[in-house]
Amino acid sequence: MTPDLVSIIVPVHNRPTILVEAVESALAQTYRPIEILIVDDGYTDETPDSANRLAVRHPELVRVLRRPNGGPGCARETGRLSARGEFLQYLDSDDLLRPEKLSLQVGALREQPDAEICYGMCVETLDDGSVIKTTLRPSSLPVKRMFPLFLAGRWWNTVVPLYRASLTDRVGAWSELRLEEDWEYDGRAAALDPLLAFVPHIVAEHRGHAGTRASRGASSDPARLEDQARAHVSLLESAQRGGVGVESPEMAQFSRELFLLSRQCGAAGLALRSRELFHAARRAATRVRSRALDFRLYRFLAGAVGWGLAGRLAMTLDALRPRPGGAA
């Protein structure tokens, strides 16, 4: 580990143009020292040419790593293992850092030596740079701990936090999940109860664009549901290790989410995942809630017709149920 150095890890897959923009935002940082690790996650286009030109123009700052395609988590892990910095910054190739980001966040971590993650505000922008939202999620609010709020949703984008590398070593490897891998990773970080530092400034841009994103796709796709199921089970385990009780509103919400995902997995033919998520939903519920009628009826139905058919029936009934205001 090199003291003061910030390692900026940029996973990329088939994004030659916006990769350059992302790396230029890293090069424009007012903070030094930095290193930029571009991780080419199994290209099938001219992305390596863009990455190589950046490395040639900035040999003292930019390194290019290559690996077979494994998704964003695996690419970030490749970068993490090669990083030399005291601090780690993840920068997806379709996002941007504001010039003062690292100066502000390293400064905050220096002022609060017990803090292990620093975050700030983020804006969501379109391709032309116009702002959709001035702040994104509750990352515009100062919070000292990740749990229990983090269980209700990942309230920062990957580009927002700056981590101490010592914390990421304790968290361990990024998973091979291609969906919700970032939420699952930060759930394991939250279980370690790191102290957070906050800077009240816009530090990054999360860009909307017409290109491909791992988070896009049909909600009923079995591969996507498989990843969501694994991520959610891991999140529950992290929350329990982190001391989040079943009485908290966030855990109650997460229990409902697990129950819904159980039905969705059943409808998609993922019977084993459906059963696993159902039992996880009951573990996340209070004793009274876990014995409620809907849980008992669904367990009876799954025992009678199987988890797959039970899921399909439940999702069909959900679709037919009248919506508030009388809409079908």
Last residue in a domain, options 207, 237, 268 = 207
Last residue in a domain, options 178, 207, 236 = 207
On whether the CB atoms of residues 122 and 203 are closer than 8 A, the answer is: yes
**Is 239 part of a structural domain of the chain?**
yes
Alpha carbon of residue 132 to chain centroid = 20
**Is 176 part of a structural domain of the chain?**
yes
Instruction: Indicate if 228 and 183 belong to the same structural domain.
Output: no
Q: What is the pTM of this model?
A: 0.90
Instruction: Indicate if 185 and 258 belong to the same structural domain.
Output: no
pLDDT at position 197 over 80: yes
How many domains are there within the chain?
2
At position 277, the amino acid (one-letter code) is L
Q: Per residue in 238-254, pLDDT tens?
A: 999 999 999 999 999 99
**Terminal Cα-to-Cα distance of the chain (whole angstroms):** 58
Least confident of 34-43, 70-79, 164-173, 310-319: 310-319
Instruction: Indicate if 187 and 278 belong to the same structural domain.
Output: no
Q: Region 209-235: what's the mean pLDDT?
A: 79
Write out the H or E segment, with its range, that includes residue 156: none
pLDDT at position 193 over 70: yes
Tell me the pLDDT of the chain averaged across its residues: 92
Per the structure, the complete domain to which residue 281 belongs is given by: 222-326
Q: Region 178-185: what's the mean pLDDT?
A: 97
Query: Burial, 234: exposed, middle or buried (Cβ in 10 Å; 0-12, 13-18, 19+)?
Result: buried
Band (159; pLDDT cuts 50, 70, 90): very high
Instruction: Indicate if 122 and 270 belong to the same structural domain.
Output: no
Give phi and psi for 107, each to the nearest 5.
-60, -40
**Is 212 part of a structural domain of the chain?**
no
Q: What is the CATH number of the domain that holds 70?
A: 3.90.550.10
Instruction: Indicate if 194 and 315 belong to the same structural domain.
Output: no
Instruction: Indicate if 99 and 195 belong to the same structural domain.
Output: yes
Q: Per residue in 289-304, pLDDT tens?
A: 999 999 999 999 999 9
Instruction: Indicate if 201 and 269 belong to the same structural domain.
Output: no
**Is 216 part of a structural domain of the chain?**
no
pLDDT at position 326 over 60: no
On whether the CB atoms of residues 110 and 118 are closer than 8 A, the answer is: no
Write out the H or E segment, with its range, that includes residue 280: helix 271-283
Q: Region 116-134: what's the mean pLDDT?
A: 82
Band (138; pLDDT cuts 50, 70, 90): low
Write out the H or E segment, with its range, that includes residue 116: strand 115-125
For the stretch 179-206, what's the b/e string if a residue is b when 16 or more beta carbons lie within 10 angstroms of its beta carbon? bbbbbbbbbbbbbeebebbbbeebbbbb
Instruction: Indicate if 91 and 177 belong to the same structural domain.
Output: yes
